[in-house]
Structure 1
């Protein structure tokens, strides 16, 4: 009798389980927003607040992006005629600014929902911009550490990149369980891109969220055979966070 009661309760519990559609967690209420960096004005679609799903942080414009874009607006000469790849593009605010100065910009992100808005912003940007020096601006799917996706991109762009740039990736070291994967993925990718191309630079807009991470970023790069240089005069407060620009090259 007792076993029958337990089985009945289990069946009732199963009947009460509600499976929510994944769209329940997705906020696609994007707003056309204007950003100004020096003399550069950008309009793009983005969220004003984060989605329920933590993996959709790319729908926002993060403090690191603001730091990077302010730096780019003051140093646009370094991008003239370059080929640039951006890691973790999100809505594309940094890559779109780069496209005003570069000959080629490859924007990447790993999340399919984020890639949708990234591609919309590229279309918006291309349709609203007058012709410039950028001959190509595209979005590619790339998850850090995914060797198949890395290989596909390398095969598509055999000439390599002048400035691999993981500009504003906000979750670098924020999710502690993913720390090792994210850090190794980022720098292994950089090694692959820069192999045999000594003139490349890897620019990182780093916003400090936890002091323990500050030295870890530098140590991780050094362990992978890279030299990290803080760009003088780039330390600033973005929101209530301290940020700085690093240039990373092969030793």
Structure 2
């Protein structure tokens, strides 16, 4: 087993959105080491000291190899894993293509494979013993979590339902190993969704959220402040899902 150091590690995968960049910045500010595994380029994170590894999150062997490298470099397994889905897919159900459907659902599989590889690495470095408060967080689109008239999103809706079900089951299976699993449903985000004034004003809070606000909520879920929280789908959406 590798001797641990004090600074925890966060590995992020999926879509390098403004929320993900804000989360990386926040975690680094609070003493975490951060790596990103995915197809985004390092320039997406600006001057932030984020270690970027370019490969498909759907490549389990590649992801496992990167996580092993990070563990060796950090001298401990990652303490937290975050996978950010991306659901800008609006196609009516009657015209949805097989390729379009599969492309959206592929994210669900990638989220699982990434989390699985990360938790395996956590357990490997503990010799199979329970992890000391490991955390997995999936970032999902709140608007894909409910049916909305005039917004055709059948494939993202199916993926969102799958993500919620997967979160609950993984929380049950991985809880005994000391790993918490939660879902953060993200609502309208300024600078990411380019929301119209009318849409934002229809939210109970009357505005879009900022990437920094969503990042703070995600950070809560990976931190020890939420050490007794697992299996939940928490919404950071300005009240969207309450309407």
TM-score by length of 2: 0.46
Give 1 or 2 for the bigger CA radius of gyration. Answer: 1
Which one has a larger percent helix, Structure 1 or Structure 2?
Answer: 2
- Structure number with the bigger relative contact order (C-alpha 8 A, sep ≥ 6) is 2
TM-score by length of 1: 0.45
Which one has a larger percent strand, Structure 1 or Structure 2?
Answer: 1
